[in-house]
Amino acid sequence: MLRARSSSEAHLYMDLHPCDCGGADFERRHHLEQHGDDLVAVYEGVCRGCGRDRRFEFVMAVEIPPPPPAYGGAEPSEIIDPGEFSEVADRFGRWAGIGLLNSPESEHHKYRGAMASALAAVEEVFKFIPAGQDAVPASAFTSARGRARYEKDPENFTREILEIELDITRRSLEAIDSVARPSGGADAAAG
Kindly state whether residues 99 and 149 are assigned to the same domain.
yes
Residue 74 lies in a domain: no
Kindly state whether residues 27 and 106 are assigned to the same domain.
no
Residue 151 lies in a domain: yes
Which residue type does 167 have? D
Pairing of strands 2-4, 53-60: parallel
CA dihedral 174, 111, 115, 101 (to 10 degrees): -80
5-43 as b/e, with b when 16 or more CB fall inside 10 Å?
bbbbbbbbbbebbebeeeeeebeeeeeeeeeeeeebbeb
| CA-to-CA separations, 78 to 13, 82, 139, 140, in angstroms, rounded | 11, 10, 13, 10
Residue 76 lies in a domain: no
Residue 67 lies in a domain: no
- pLDDT one digit per residue (tens) for the chain, 191 residues: 999 999 999 999 999 999 999 998 999 999 999 999 999 999 999 999 999 999 999 999 999 999 999 999 999 999 999 999 999 999 999 999 999 999 999 999 999 999 999 999 999 999 999 999 999 999 999 999 999 999 999 999 999 999 999 999 999 999 999 985 655 444 444 44
Kindly state whether residues 182 and 115 are assigned to the same domain.
yes
Residue 129 lies in a domain: yes
Kindly state whether residues 111 and 182 are assigned to the same domain.
yes
93's CB contacts (< 8 A; 6+ apart) are: 114, 115, 118, 169, 172
Kindly state whether residues 90 and 48 are assigned to the same domain.
no
CA end-to-end distance (rounded Å), the chain: 30
Cα–Cα nearest to 39, from 18, 73, 65: 65
Kindly state whether residues 180 and 117 are assigned to the same domain.
yes
Kindly state whether residues 171 and 98 are assigned to the same domain.
yes
User: How many CA atoms lie within 13 Å of 175's alpha carbon, on the beta-carbon side?
Assistant: 15
Residue 75 lies in a domain: no
pTM: 0.90
Kindly state whether residues 147 and 107 are assigned to the same domain.
yes
77-113 as b/e, with b when 16 or more CB fall inside 10 Å?
bebbbbbbbbbbbbebbeebbeebeeeeeeebbebbb
Report the domain count for the chain.
2
CATH code where residue 39 lies = 2.20.25
Kindly state whether residues 44 and 109 are assigned to the same domain.
no
Domain residues for the domain of 122 are 82-189
Calpha distance 66→76 (Å, rounded): 14
Kindly state whether residues 176 and 91 are assigned to the same domain.
yes
Kindly state whether residues 101 and 177 are assigned to the same domain.
yes
Residue 77 lies in a domain: no
Query: Coil, strand or helix: which one is 61?
Result: coil
Kindly state whether residues 111 and 175 are assigned to the same domain.
yes
| CA-to-CA separations, 103 to 50, 114, 119, in angstroms, rounded | 36, 15, 21
Residue 153 lies in a domain: yes
